Structure 1
Amino acid sequence: MRRTRVAIMGAGSIGCHLGGWLASSAEVTLIGRAPTIDAIEEQGLTVSDLKGHRRTVPPERLTLATEASAVVDADYVLMTTKSSGTSRATRQIAPYLDHDSVIISFQNGLRAASMIDEALGSAFPSRASRPLALSGMVPFNVVRVDETHWAQTVSGRLRVKDHPRIDPLIRAAHGAGLRIEIEPDMRAVLFGKLLLNLNNAVNALTGEPLAVQLRDRDCRTVLAACQDEALALARRLGVNPARMTPLPPALVPAVLRSPTPLFTSLSRASLKVTPQARSSMADDLSAGRPTEIDEMQGAIVTLGRTHGTATPVCSRVVDLVREAEEAGADHRRWTGAQLRAAVGL
């Protein structure tokens, strides 16, 4: 039987991690920036998970490319670019897609799959013949521990919108030891993931590893306030955010505000974080790159404005991240107490 063909558009940390695992049971094409692709071509690709499992894929087992045309003939395209690059990346790959192609967004934010579908509209005006765009969700962080090794640093399982056409991908993933859960209501899942992603900005502003930042009660209090605003908005929108941890989302802010020993005890079983874990937004600020703040606290602010829900803490966090972006790699690093005061708590 022909192996499933998977192209990964935007092969950075998440894309390389997914591609490295899938390569044992699928034909994988990685499309990314030249420095990353060149390094993998020389050294191969290594991925590892929280259980200590490690896999190295020789370069000859991968198709490596820097051009969007490499998606041609792929059964599935996994979109792993930054959210801000979604429309542009979709327009780049559109000429090389078939009407039966399936694109799955494994990106942050609430809107990525709809942005893909909208960007496909110019190349495929008829919805009946347009490639299928589905939402996916990556709950964990991945860090680049050396030039061609990407490691999972936070626990969690992938999720993707339930649809009959994703079955071959699910089988290939499970055959590679990569667990993907199918979900009928990805809107609830994406909102649940957004609640967790609100910590990305808090982590980025402190510059601390996640394990250190999460031991700071002031930092957790800022995150809890952001989540409170997001939960109020979810109620206004009629969305019941999916549970990303053993606790219902409505109870998480109270746990975040609890004394650190209690928080550590309550989260130990459900939240595994390696010492080197940092948010992708922290990496972006350190490298002087634009962040995804518009799809995180920024999304809460925008939706709150539209639906009449107050979001003062999220709004202030957006302002602080914007200031950090303008300052570049030498941006201010905030202590938890300073950050709590800066957002008015």
Structure 2
Amino acid sequence: MGAGSIGTYFGGWLAAAADVTLIGRAPNVDAITRDGLTVTDLAGRTRTVPPETLTLATEPSAVVGADYVLLTTKTHGLAAATQQIAPYLQHDSVVISLQNGLRNASAIDEALAGAFPSRASRPLVLSGMVPFNVVRTAETHWTQTTSGRPVFKDHPRVDPFVRVAQGGGLRVEVDPDMRAVLFGKLLLNLNNAVNALTGLPLAVELRDRDCRAVLAACQDEALALARRIGISPARMTPLPAAAMPALLRSPTPVFSNLARASLKVAPTARSSMADDLDAGRPTEIDELQGVVVQLGADHGSAAPVCARIVELVREAEASGPDRRRWSGAQLRAAVGL
């Protein structure tokens, strides 16, 4: 449900081992109906899925009969999408959240309450995490552009889905502590706003030490929050989460050498937030730097750099196509570093 870049990419791989329905916007659905769907992973493996092997739909009623529903909408559309599919879910369906942010599974569960007042009869909601970016490289071709493996909440009822995913060619993992996983991903996702504000390709932005200094400051604030609320962020790179800001602040040759083994970035990679700003869509900033600011205020953990980044993204959203593209040095000065 919400078959944009991530949803379509997952669907393309899952289709080799499962009956897959893609529910998305009409232009995407029409193009795939005509030409099929092609997906490519970071290693260059490519699969083309004929349209007749997929169920393609624009209406939420297409979730009827689904064993698993992957919600891949943007975070700000999550509650509405959940309410749309709720009347068509089975009580034994499993709903998996694949959004950025910390609070999505609970938001889905709350949105299901209207259709399933009894928690005992409500579909099971589980968290998932997608560490990589996907870009649309042609009208019906979606390509993974950064490294990492998806992680799903370790639960007996997710096991059949994991087997199918691996059978379809998706390399996935499970973890019992998704709070730690999601917080670890949040630390990486704090770069989405930095990348979007610069408008640079991800590989270029990460070679800019000023950009990395802004990201490091955001991560420092998020790590301070994690300590306040008792979360030990999962390690998403070979380095512990607490060591990432120091790596980001290191000279570019040092950063590049240390990051090369763990962070693979295609030349076309950029953050989905950059795509949202270019398209005039709302961003997920409330669940990235915004959640650090909000939870920080609740728990007495200051986050001035994250707060300033939220302001700058809001200004960019309001400016539309004429938004400012910041250099790393300008952005660093704008957040007071």
TM-score bracket for the superposition, by shorter chain length:
over 0.9
Within a 5 Å distance, the mapping from 1:1-345 to structure 2 comes to: 9-345=1-337
How far apart are 1:189 and its partner, in Å? 0.2
For 1:70, give the aligned amino acid. Answer: A
How far apart are 1:316 and its partner, in Å? 0.2
* d(CA) in 1 for partners of 2:205, 2:122: 44
* d(CA) in 2 for partners of 1:33, 1:177: 26
How far apart are 1:135 and its partner, in Å? 0.3
For 1:119, give the aligned amino acid. Answer: A
**Deviations along 1:264-298, whole A, 9 cap, x unmatched?**
00000000000000000000011111100000000
How far apart are 1:329 and its partner, in Å? 1.6
How far apart are 1:177 and its partner, in Å? 1.2
Secondary structure of residue in 1 paired with 2:297: helix
For 2:63, give the aligned amino acid. Answer: V
CA RMSD of aligned residues (A): 0.4
| Percent of matched pairs sharing the same residue | 76
Structure-2 residue corresponding to 1:3:
none
For 1:263, give the aligned amino acid. Answer: F
Secondary structure of residue in 2 paired with 1:139: coil
* d(CA) in 1 for partners of 2:299, 2:231: 13
For 1:218, give the aligned amino acid. Answer: D
Secondary structure of residue in 1 paired with 2:169: coil
For 2:195, give the aligned amino acid. Answer: N
* d(CA) in 2 for partners of 1:330, 1:208: 15
For 1:317, give the aligned amino acid. Answer: I
How far apart are 1:168 and its partner, in Å? 1.0
How far apart are 1:179 and its partner, in Å? 1.3
* d(CA) in 2 for partners of 1:287, 1:87: 22
Secondary structure of residue in 1 paired with 2:116: coil
Gaps of 5+ in 2: none
For normalisation by structure 1, the TM-score amounts to 0.97
How far apart are 1:330 and its partner, in Å? 1.4
**Deviations along 1:123-163, whole A, 9 cap, x unmatched?**
10111000000000000000000100000000000000011
* d(CA) in 1 for partners of 2:189, 2:321: 22
For 2:125, give the aligned amino acid. Answer: A
Secondary structure of residue in 1 paired with 2:265: coil
Secondary structure of residue in 2 paired with 1:327: helix
* d(CA) in 1 for partners of 2:227, 2:163: 36
Runs of 4+ deviating beyond 3 Å? none
Gaps of 5+ in 1: 1-8
* d(CA) in 1 for partners of 2:321, 2:52: 37
How far apart are 1:180 and its partner, in Å? 1.3
For 2:296, give the aligned amino acid. Answer: G
**Deviations along 1:23-68, whole A, 9 cap, x unmatched?**
0000000000000000000000000011110000000000000000
* d(CA) in 2 for partners of 1:222, 1:142: 24
